[in-house]
Structure formats: structure tokens, C-alpha cells
Amino acid sequence: MNAIISASDLANDLKGATPPVLLDVRWQLTAAKAAGEPPYDGRAEYETGHLPGAVYVDLDRELASAPGEGGRHPLPDLAHFGAAMRRAGVSSGTPVVVYDGGQGWAAARAWWMLRWTGHPDVRVLDGGLPAWEGSLDTSVPAPAEGDFVPEPGAGLLDADTAAELARSGVLLDARAGERYRGEVEPIDRVAGHIPGAVSAPTTENVGADGRYLPARELRERFKGLGVSEGSRVGVYCGSGVSAAHEVLALAIAGIPAELYVGSWSEWSSDPDRPVAVGPDPQ
């Protein structure tokens, strides 16, 4: 099953006998603003217009738990996550399509959460809301309760297994190159990267229109980063959001990958963990 869907294919599926459940996961990483601007409000954006029938999902409250020792976006309580998905109408036997405002990171986090917890049919709208050419709706739907019960599977890394994978396989750092190299660090307490990790900014997985590159081009990209057939691959970022976008890109390329959800926000919080700087992985 393809991990992404085009806007035209989604429009056709919505007219079919088993239309997908639509989840709107608009979110942005919000830093403090000197001008006193309010933080980004995904729900307010949703209420100004969304795909007809889409239910809003709050990344910070439903796809993650409160920031802490596990990082800025640690895994949510699975009972809470399951209840949120059922309220949104998600059932195990019904396809799901998730989208965000176009960046793709938040939608990928929702995709990863649902896939990791056992949903068999989840796709991301390629290009997000900007790719949609149909009408938008402002009404808030009240879908019938779904039956999805999350059951966690494989594909999850913690700090120790991420460190081991950086030595034995390929650990990709999905953050911007300057953060990987330790030249800047706007959020976390320490700049740099996990020793052995390879710089692989997730922004290079998409074209100028925000849509994923073709599978062939993605395979070539990851091959150039050291991923060969049979490689064990892991991904991390700042807090397990943009890294999910890279896991999805790897899935498009036909490469299974594991996600370190705690990512750099967890790794760098412990002063005993080693830190590498500069362009060299080590």
C-alpha cells in the first residue's frame, strides 16, 4: 500500500463506497515571538476551512504527551490516543487519510502513530491542504464512534537503541544541516548530533511544491546517504515530528525505518550522553 495519496485520487475515493476518514493535523513548531504574536493555532486554522468531513487532531495533545524527560513530543498515553482516534471516527476496517497545512511533518506523525499502533490503511495527502482543489467546509462534523484500539508494534527506538544503530546500521538526522553540525541550536540545550548519525534534512525529501519526490529519486537519495539493501535504518530529529516525515519518505522508497521519538530533545537533555559537532558523523 502506498503511504501517500494525491488530491485527485482522494477526491475519487471520497465518492466511493468506503470513503476514508479524514484527519486534519495542522500544526507548526512555535518558538517565542518578540512581537508578542500569539502561537500558531491549528484548530483555529481548521475552523476557517477544512476538507469536508475532516476531524481536527491536536498533535500536542493527542499525538504526544506533555514535554519532559522523554523530549518535547514523547509518545502519548495509548489509551488517550485510542480514544481520540475513535472520537474522530477511526476504525480498523476503514481507510484513513491525514493531512496538514502543507509542510507534511504533522500529518506524517499521525500516519506513523496509526501505523505503529496497527492500523492497516493510512495515507498522507501529498502536498497537504494546498494540494486540495475541491471545496472547503467550516462545519465541525460529529462522526460515529470508531472501533480502533491501538496495539503497538515494532519500529520504535529509544536513546540506547538509537546510539547502537548509529554504530551498526544507518541513523539519519532529519534536522537542518546547521543544527546537525552544531552551528546553531534554537531550541535544545546543546548543539550537535548523535555520534555516528548521518545528516539527512527532511526538507530534501520533497520538491518545491512540498510534494514527495518520486520513489526512484528517494531511493537514490538514501543510497547516497549510506542506505543499502538490508540496512537497518533509524531516524531522529528534534522531537520526533519531522523525523516521521523522513520515515514516510523511506517508506515511499520501499525502505523500512525505525523512529527515535525522543530525538535530540531527549538525547541532549542528559549531560552524560555524547555529542558530536561538525559535518563528520563521528
Going 127 to 131 to 137 to 143, the CA torsion angle's sign is negative
Separation of alpha carbons 249 and 245, rounded Å? 6
* Cell matching residue 99: 493531512
In this structure, the number of other CB atoms found within 10 A of the CB of residue 136 comes to 12
Separation of alpha carbons 253 and 233, rounded Å? 13
User: CB–CB of 205/218 below 8 Å?
Assistant: yes
| DSSP E strands, 52-144 | 55-56, 96-99, 122-125
Phi first, then psi: give them for residue 22, nearest 5 degrees. -105, 130
Residue of 125, 237, 252, 253 with catalytic role: 237
> Which pairing describes strands 170-173 and 198-199: parallel, antiparallel, or unpaired?
parallel
No. of H helices and E strands in the chain? Answer: 10, 10
- How are strands ordered across the β-sheet holding 4-5? 4-5, 122-125, 96-99, 21-24, 55-56
User: CB–CB of 132/93 below 8 Å?
Assistant: no
* 237 in catalytic set: yes
- Which residues does the annotation mark as catalytic? 237
